[in-house]
Structure 1
Amino acid sequence: MRTYLIAAMTTASALALMTVAGHAHSEDITEVVVTVTREPVALSKVGQSVTVFDAATIETRQELFLSDLIAQSPSVSIAQTGGPGQVDTARFRGAESDRSLFLIDGVKLGDPSQIGGGLNLGLLALNDAERVEVLRGPLSTLWGSQAIGGVVAITTRTPKKPFEARVSVEGLDDYVTARASIGGKADRLTWGLSGAYIDDEGVSSLRTGSEKDGFEQKHLNGYLNYALTETSGLRARLSHTESDYDFDGYDASFSLADTRDFGTQDESVASVGYYNQMLEGRLKNSVTISQTKTERETSDLANATSYPFEGRQTSYDYTGTFSLSEATQFVFGASSERSKIITTGLVKSVTLNGLFAQVRQDINALTLNASVRRDDHSTFGDNTIGQIAAAYALSDAVVLHASLGQGFKAPSLYQLYDGWSGNVALKPEEATNIDFGVDVYGANNGRYGVSLFGRKTENQIDYDMSTFTYGNIARTKAYGIELEAARDLSDAVSISGNYSHIIARDDAKDSFTYKNDLGRAPKHLANAHIDWQATDALSLGASARYAGKSFENIYNTRELDAYTLVDLRAAYRVNDTVSVFGRIENATDEDYETAANYGSTGRRLWLGIRASL
């Protein structure tokens, strides 16, 4: 029944595509501006597939964690080793999350002390995010290493009135989340301060365990922007997050067990920048210095041992944009990143310096984008990549887009320098991606899209069992199709949905896993949403997310069953200041696995209240 529900909702959205031909007008198109491209540009001029979650959508969907939100976009699958706060990874078109890039207010997120240099999405709450952009496909020419599978750009809330205040509390007996923020914009100064708290008793990470593995997180964020003149200013942001979590580890027989292991992670993100405009606004410059610092420690109570790790990443970034004319724009810049790992027996650092340039040219209804990047790594040396993309407005209602580009991922510090398995001879992973599609805009706020994509990755870093070190021994490929549809059924009811079919496989012909599916990469993914503004004050909604069967690992010996999650939600606006809201997560109490032998969260009821000034 649950599978039929999501199929019906998605099919209803897709069938609406048939009604669009001959009924679209230019005023039906709502132009969305994206910033993941390093400078604001209309979505219709971007040659790649992008999903944008604005502030209203984020509030409507009521998600707490970033991974639950981005999983609602096409071709993004999630794997988590238990409930809230546990290790959480995402695959973008079959590429693992440490091969995709995450940004918050333009600052790269990551933990250089992780094996792959990525981050644990299970600890990344949405908190004060007011916009999330998900670009699918590579954008390494503009952002450098890791931007192979996709780029996720988070923009946090910036005050727009002289004084603003927001507070919200939600939860039930065993779990609660509280958020609060104040800020203002007056004269030349814009400032903001926000905080968030999560306390969740969790579920057992071990699927068959009985002991709950809890999670607690505290988050603070501060923001300042001071306009020196009408065309220049300074900005700074500082955030600090402390997380404590229990998890289930391995017993003496190396089997996953219901242990009492626990971990802590303190993460700080700091940035300061200067921006200005010159030549009557035609030349814009931005300089940012940022640092992320992650200190984490896991403890094994059974053996009375602990394992400390520290990762630091300091970045210097310059971005310039120059408008030669309304039709011609250049984006160019330079970056320098210094990554460092500090752990028992290993203290190492590397530097990655890069130069990039892009030109965007409008030729009537056609927009062409061409970009190139050259990086110099302190270990493996030089690397040069390029990308071309195009968008063509076939009519007022139909936009074609296509791109051909390269992405790369530098080897992590662990893969280079670990005393047992490190290999300083590693080269960067290299990926080539092609995609093309069409977006159709119709009446009743209709938008319908089809995208085809293919990616081949060479020199992929993997553990070499013949040498017991990491090597550039793997090759993978992924290809598929994405379908999207959204429209208003009436003034009060809107629907949207997407479906993705992804083939992600081992492509190394000399490997005994050749043509095997990549681990935790479902072939079929789908989302469906329906929202009803029942009255001026009451809104109701439902969402369904489907993930098809997948394998736990590349050996394809353990299959993970398909699953469907259904969420129900409601919100009631008491007055202009106060709203109450609630939701039922996993309303059908689906029992499912996204990672073999790990538990998942069952049905949950959340009740909340929010107020704003």
Structure 2
Amino acid sequence: MRWLERFHPASLRSTVPLLCSTSRFALQAVSALRRSALALLLSTAIAAPTLAQIPPPPGQTRPITLPETIVTATGAEAGPERLPAGVTVITRRDIEERGYQTVAEALFAIPGVNLAATGGPGQQTSIFTRGTNSNHTLVLIDGVPVNDASAPAGAFDFGQDLLGDIERIEVVRGPFASLYGSGALGGAINLVTRRAPADRQVTAFGEVAGGSNRTVRTHAGIAGTIGTFDYLAVAQGFSTRGSDASAPRLAGHTGERDGYRAAAGTIRLGWQALENLRFEGLLRWRETNYAFDAAGAEDPNATGNDRQWLGVLRGEARLLGGAWTTGLRLSRSEFRRRSSNAPDEIDPFPFTPYSLFRGTRTAIDWGNRIALPDAPGITQAVLSFGAGHERQSSRTRGEGVTATDARAGAYSVFTGIEARLFHLLDVSAAVRHEEAEDYGGATTWRLGAVMPLESLGLRLHAAVGTAFRAPSLEERFGRSAFVVGNPGLREERGTSWEAGIAWRPVRQVELSATYFASRTKDLIVYDFSTFPGTSRNINRARVDGVEFGLEVAPIEALTLRFGWTVTEAFDDNTDLRLLRRPSNTITAGFRWQPITPVVVTGELRFTGAQNDIVYPGASGFGDRGVNPSGTVANLTASWRVQENTTLFLEGRNLGNSRWEPVNSYVLPGRNVLAGVRIAL
């Protein structure tokens, strides 16, 4: 299904006329601000060539920043209000209070993000960030890029990873290749794993839950600090018989369930060798088994296995009295995906009866941050620089799949500076060059500025930057009976900009609006004008949009939040809408704490009609068309019965929506889980 997520045109617009007309009005309104926003960006670039984040007052935390080779959780950091980007941080408390089970569920209500899931947990799930491609969002674990090198186009599957070992999820929207390299055209998502407490030698935590569809979810962990050593270990398990991912409206629907089983483990060890010298190691493993259906049809014999390993070794030293932080990191991630599809009466001749994908990423990174002395009008200046090398490999084989056996490497260098000007303007800039061993290279950059006007309750921000995606190994070297790789492919390139405002007229209310736009060229698509077909750089795309937000706390115990994202994403070659980019998404949520030990949270998401491959088509297969809109509502309640014991009840899809996030794949029906969470 990944090939469907490329830039295909579609011929019909949204079937929600009111929302569409309103979205066009909103885009017309914000487009009037575009020239002034660009003027602000240019003045920022002239004022100071700087980098992306600023050191904050002590104790604040930084959402996604530079990789951990450069900045750790104890380094100089900045809060979201200081960042010139669309930032959302999902904390451990959010994960527990809202009942998130997988990374995909945690992204349910993020502005500017559209999820495309082919069913429930364990099913292929992609995201489209601010209208960019599904392989234009880079995923990191503790700052280490983990997109699968063996995936046909390098997209990440968000339906597999569990959250028992995750402390927070940091989502940044916008181009961040200047910080992370290839793949971050639309944004970056960093999964930050849990850490050992510094004030206890041993602490234990865990939870167990069960409910609908014979679902059982559990995790258990232990962590602590003994002298100069700290440790953490977490084990996770998840099992469900699932629901039928194939839409009931399809002919031949049987109700066959697509089950999912997952196990995962994480170990982290740290040694504070000296006051200014630390070493750390991380080992993370996850394996899942699942059943899945074909697009537009049932498939009772299709099963898959997905396994991932990640290992990280890191050393960090603080020099010059702590002004200079330098770090070295070695990382390796391995993916193995296997699927099988035995013949059956529904599909006696499966196109891909067996496939095996193996991908690796091995990298070494060296990073530095130096706090510079203050100068007249310039404070909190930080210089960063570093270099790295990464090698990827992909080996795939099977019947009916593109065979690949290739590897490639790339070197990178980067630098940046960040500062506060005249105690009024936070400015930042970064530049990075990546030189590949076999396809050339790319230089990317990013400029940003934040201006807080505290007396007016206002915060203004603007940013502009470039990004790229290197062609995947399959796109360059894969071979099958129908497709041959193209070693001469160029990287996909994009330029994006944004400008936003947040206004807090009173402490209990905040309104925000951000205009964003991107232009992408040299997009890689399969060209079947010759036989066999091959990948070529022949597409261009344009995206314009607005993210609106409102947060209200009418009483101390209740917080309400609302979001509306308008996205206009088009294929520049055909002037037709891109697939799976709805013009409108609306989210709403609340957190209510009627009494101290009780918390109730709810989330609702409306996704407007979107262009997709629609089944059944006139040809008997899928044809381009419009996938109808849908609404999903979730509710979670928690009751802390003792200081270290919490009971919880989670309800998913309470309206029993039969909406299809990806056409022909339906949401799981209404389901409920109950459990207990313990922290000793």
| TM-score of the pair, normalised by structure 1 | 0.91
- Following superposition of structure 1 onto structure 2, how do residues 332-481 of structure 1 map, counting pairs within 5 Å? 332-344=385-397, 345-363=403-421, 364-396=423-455, 397-419=457-479, 420-467=483-530, 468-481=533-546
The amino acid that maps onto 2:267 is: G
**Deviation per residue, 1:208-227 (Å, 9 max, x gap):** 33211111000000001110
Structure 2 CA distance for aligned equivalents of residues 336 and 556 of structure 1: 43
Q: What residue is the counterpart of 1:34 in the other structure?
A: 63
1:171 Cα deviation from its structure 2 partner: 2.1
The amino acid that maps onto 2:274 is: T
Is the Cα–Cα contact under 8 Å of residues 66 and 143 in structure 2 kept in the other structure? no
1:553 Cα deviation from its structure 2 partner: 4.4
Q: 1:123 aligned to 2:160?
A: yes
Is the Cα–Cα contact under 8 Å of residues 524 and 535 in structure 2 kept in the other structure? yes
Q: What residue is the counterpart of 1:105 in the other structure?
A: 142
Q: What residue is the counterpart of 1:609 in the other structure?
A: 676
1:442 Cα deviation from its structure 2 partner: 4.8
The amino acid that maps onto 2:152 is: I
1:258 Cα deviation from its structure 2 partner: 2.8
Q: What residue is the counterpart of 2:132 in the other structure?
A: 95
> Secondary structure of the equivalent of 1:123?
coil
1:204 Cα deviation from its structure 2 partner: 1.8
- Following superposition of structure 1 onto structure 2, how do residues 54-203 of structure 1 map, counting pairs within 5 Å? 54-160=91-197, 161-173=200-212, 174-203=214-243
Is the Cα–Cα contact under 8 Å of residues 315 and 327 in structure 2 kept in the other structure? yes
Structure 1 CA distance for aligned equivalents of residues 108 and 226 of structure 2: 38
**Deviation per residue, 1:485-532 (Å, 9 max, x gap):** 223211211111211000111012xxxxx1211111111112111121
Is the Cα–Cα contact under 8 Å of residues 64 and 171 in structure 2 kept in the other structure? no
**Deviation per residue, 1:370-413 (Å, 9 max, x gap):** 11111111121121122111111223532111011001000000
Aligned residues with identical type, % of pairs: 25
Q: What residue is the counterpart of 2:578 in the other structure?
A: 518
Structure 2 CA distance for aligned equivalents of residues 316 and 310 of structure 1: 21
**Deviation per residue, 1:90-140 (Å, 9 max, x gap):** 010111331111111111111111111122111122222111111100110
Structure 1 CA distance for aligned equivalents of residues 511 and 79 of structure 2: 17
The amino acid that maps onto 1:500 is: T
- Following superposition of structure 1 onto structure 2, how do residues 168-317 of structure 1 map, counting pairs within 5 Å? 168-173=207-212, 174-208=214-248, 209=253, 210-249=255-294, 256-302=297-343, 305-317=353-365
Structure 2 CA distance for aligned equivalents of residues 228 and 101 of structure 1: 33
Cα 1:112/1:408, change in 2 over 3 Å: same
Is the Cα–Cα contact under 8 Å of residues 109 and 603 in structure 2 kept in the other structure? no
Q: 2:369 aligns with which of 321, 324, 346?
A: 321
The amino acid that maps onto 2:85 is: Q
Structure 1 CA distance for aligned equivalents of residues 367 and 503 of structure 2: 33
**Deviation per residue, 1:531-575 (Å, 9 max, x gap):** 211112222222111111001149983211111111122111111
1:445 Cα deviation from its structure 2 partner: 4.9
Q: Gaps spanning 5+ residues in structure 1: where?
A: 7-29, 509-513
The amino acid that maps onto 2:407 is: S
Is the Cα–Cα contact under 8 Å of residues 520 and 553 in structure 1 kept in the other structure? no
> Secondary structure of the equivalent of 1:141?
helix
The amino acid that maps onto 2:62 is: V
1:448 Cα deviation from its structure 2 partner: 2.6
RMSD of aligned alpha carbons:
1.9
Q: Gaps spanning 5+ residues in structure 2: where?
A: 1-15, 20-58, 72-76, 344-348, 374-378, 398-402, 615-621
Is the Cα–Cα contact under 8 Å of residues 36 and 135 in structure 1 kept in the other structure? no
| TM-score of the pair, normalised by structure 2 | 0.82
Structure 2 CA distance for aligned equivalents of residues 158 and 366 of structure 1: 34
**Deviation per residue, 1:387-443 (Å, 9 max, x gap):** 111111223532111011001000000000012331001000000001010122354
Structure 1 CA distance for aligned equivalents of residues 287 and 513 of structure 2: 41
Structure 2 CA distance for aligned equivalents of residues 539 and 332 of structure 1: 44
Structure 2 CA distance for aligned equivalents of residues 194 and 525 of structure 1: 36
Structure 2 CA distance for aligned equivalents of residues 607 and 60 of structure 1: 13
The amino acid that maps onto 1:289 is: L
Q: What residue is the counterpart of 1:574 in the other structure?
A: 641
Q: 1:545 aligned to 2:605?
A: yes
Q: 1:500 aligned to 2:565?
A: yes
Is the Cα–Cα contact under 8 Å of residues 547 and 563 in structure 1 kept in the other structure? yes
The amino acid that maps onto 2:555 is: S
Q: What residue is the counterpart of 1:50 in the other structure?
A: 87
1:338 Cα deviation from its structure 2 partner: 0.5
